[in-house]
Structure 1
Amino acid sequence: MTVLAQIASGFSGLILLTLSLLHFYWVFGGSLGKTKTIPADPQGKLAFVPGKAVTALVGILLFTAALCPLCMRVENVLSIPKNVFQYGCYFLSLIFFLRAVGDFKFVGFFKKIKTTIFAQYDTRFYSPLCVFLSFLLFLSACS
């Protein structure tokens, strides 16, 4: 694995782990930033209201996603072939790229609703982060 791929793997794993922990923070009652992370229409009606179970599931999925690039850095993790993690990184790279493109209504660079607080944060932070993660995960997989 090249040095660049190792750095990309470590950094993408750290970002995904941090996002996972943020979701668990919300599951256990935290509220910091929560109002800026749910899409809404211009009248303020939320696109969906995630419950604790869904938020915990997202946290678990993000934690599992963090394992793919991190396990790329080490050999023979639980006798799982390295190419499983490599394909996982390619898959995650695609998922985060698609998230950055968006659903053409609430999320992504091509969203129609652009005036809400979420939309502003999505344009400035969330979608660029998804492109960055997509790039890092692709670099991790290409090692």
Structure 2
Amino acid sequence: MTIIRKRGLWGMTVFLVFVNSFIFFAISGIHIYWALGGKWGSHSAIPANLKGKKLFFPGVFATIIVAIGLFLFALATLGNLGNFNEWIPRNYIHYADLGITTIFYLRAIGEFRYVGLFRKVKDTDFAKQDKKIFTPLCLFIGTVSLLIVLLNR
């Protein structure tokens, strides 16, 4: 019996794991959709400069790599339920969750110009979506991942 079950926090852990896993699977699916040529949401998914020029143009391969990464994040998160204990040592799942927490908090903070809480460019389509959706979602994912880590100590 794990410490979580002894503390009576297993239900909360399961809920948080499913929430983050669902988000990761959904975002992974959106990236697959884009890799297959879908356009919905793609106009504001890439940062742009003040003139509206996109800062980079990810290709199909890069988009699929991101989708696979998000899918693996979902699996790592699901690993907190003990699904992979026979194949993956529990401490690897713990370190993966710490990595996920760090990645999403760093993404939320941003690079101080185009992305994140402290972005300077605020009037592009991306910046508006970043303020309303992307950065809050990253803070949410990071916080839920941190809670999962703390509940699974």
Question: What corresponds to 1:86 in structure 2?
Answer: 94
Change (3 A) 1:78 1:21: farther
Match of 2:116 among 80, 84, 108: 108
Structure 1 counterpart of 2:30: 22
1:1-143 paired onto structure 2 within 5 Å: 1=4, 2-142=10-150, 143=152
One-letter identity of the residue aligned with 1:23:
H
What TM-score comes out, normalization by structure 2 length?
0.89
Aligned alpha-carbon RMSD (Å): 1.1
Q: Are the equivalent residues in 2 in contact too, given 1:100–1:109 (CA < 8 A)?
A: yes
Higher relative contact order (Cα pairs below 8 Å, separated by 6+ residues) = 1
The whole-number CA distance in structure 1 between the counterparts of 2:70 and 2:16 is 17
Cα distance in structure 2, aligned partners of 1:76 and 1:25: 28
The TM-score, its normalising length taken from structure 1, stands at: 0.95
User: Which residues of structure 2 form unaligned runs of 5+?
Assistant: 5-9
The structure with the largest alpha-carbon Rg is 2
How many aligned residue pairs are there?
143
Deviations 1:68-102 (A, max 9, x none): 11111124444211221111111100110000000
Does the C-alpha gap of structure 1 residues 131 and 56 become closer, same or farther in structure 2, counting only changes over 3 Å? same
Structure 1 gap ranges (5+): none
Looking at structure 2, the residues matched to 38 and 68 of structure 1 have their Cα atoms a distance apart, in angstroms, of 26
